[in-house]
Amino acid sequence: MDADTIIEFAEIGAPDEHARSAAIELHGKLIKPAGSLGKLEELGVWIAACQGQSPPRPFTRPRVVVFAADHGISAKGVSAYPREVTGQLVGSLLTGGAAINVLAASAGASVRVVDIAVDTDAPATRSIGEFKVRRGSGSIDTEDALTDEEVRAAIRAGMKIADAEVDGGADLLVAGDLGIGNSTPASVLVAALTGSEPVAVVGRGSGIDDATWMRKAIAVRDGLRRARRVLADPILLVRTAGGADIAAIAGFLAQAAVRKTPVILDGLVAGAAALIAEELAPGARQWWVAGQRGGEPAHALLLDHLDLEPVLDLDIRLGEGTGAVAALPLLFMATRVLAEMSTHDQAGVAGPLTPPPTP
């Protein structure tokens, strides 16, 4: 096999256990009852382990990368919006008017958009089209989403983007998605990898009515039939029933773990890519935290499969990285608690009472 067709990830190590233990110990010395900050304490310990130091460093360059792509299945009437909306939303994102722009600015993150497979002749700007694989992915109910060459190009693109962001100073990453119809292939992948039936994974996505839901369920059923034939190979699976965006996000998430860079996972589409990434690079999930539990049934299934407990439960199902960015301020807080809060000794505050010895 040609070297250019081989997808290999370096072995992924676990976050630093010494830093984790030190962070747990430090939490026990701060001027508060042990465990009283709940999930914030767990997040701070995880961040310290990812950074390999306690107390952890405050984040200085959180970065959102939005992967934009169209999907052939959208022509089957599975979305509340027409396909051309993808390209229009890319334009809004580039001018700062999309939801992720607003939320990221509020949370202190910057945003990059990548045209990986939008159904246009050319990207809105040359800079976002460097890794474009094709114009839209195939209709997964009757054909493969990608060719073998395209799926590997998309995965490698995600890897290169993750490397470039980390090399550029990003210390926390979010993968966003943008594309009409993308929840349909994502639902197929979740059903395939969790052993679920179509009716268990099909949600309302963009706000679809009952008739559209039925068309979507049929599309997921047909895509799942094709996906199950290649279930043992994650690259064949995402080539058959995924799309260029999902393949690229999978490469991005796996490579972020290789680079020991923490990631906040977003909703269904990024989560489906995370399932593929964990198959490609076992252990990658240790470097991810789930930002929030979305409103799609498939999202709950994939979080359980990855054994990730979401930080928030806000019913956000927009994509773009919005659910992940909503959790970002809590990660800032969790980091600063360990870095800035006083210990009992520093503050001169008495610690908890020691129980008297048993007679």
The set of catalytic residues is 320
3-state helix, strand, coil in the chain (%, to 5): 50, 10, 40
Identity at 20, one-letter amino acid code: R
**Which ranges in 95-233 belong to alpha helices (H)?**
99-107, 148-167, 183-194, 198-201, 210-227
Task: Report d(CA 229, CA 240) in Å as an integer.
Answer: 9
- Rg of the Cα atoms in the chain: 21
User: Which SS3 state, helix, strand or coil, does residue 177 take?
Assistant: strand
Phi-psi region of 195 (alpha: psi -120 to 50; beta: other; left: phi over 0): left
Cis omega (within 30 of 0) for bond into 297: no
> Which residue(s) pair with 110 in the sheet?
63
Task: Report d(CA 233, CA 101) in Å as an integer.
Answer: 36
Find the helix or strand (DSSP H, E) in which 112 lies. Answer: strand 110-117
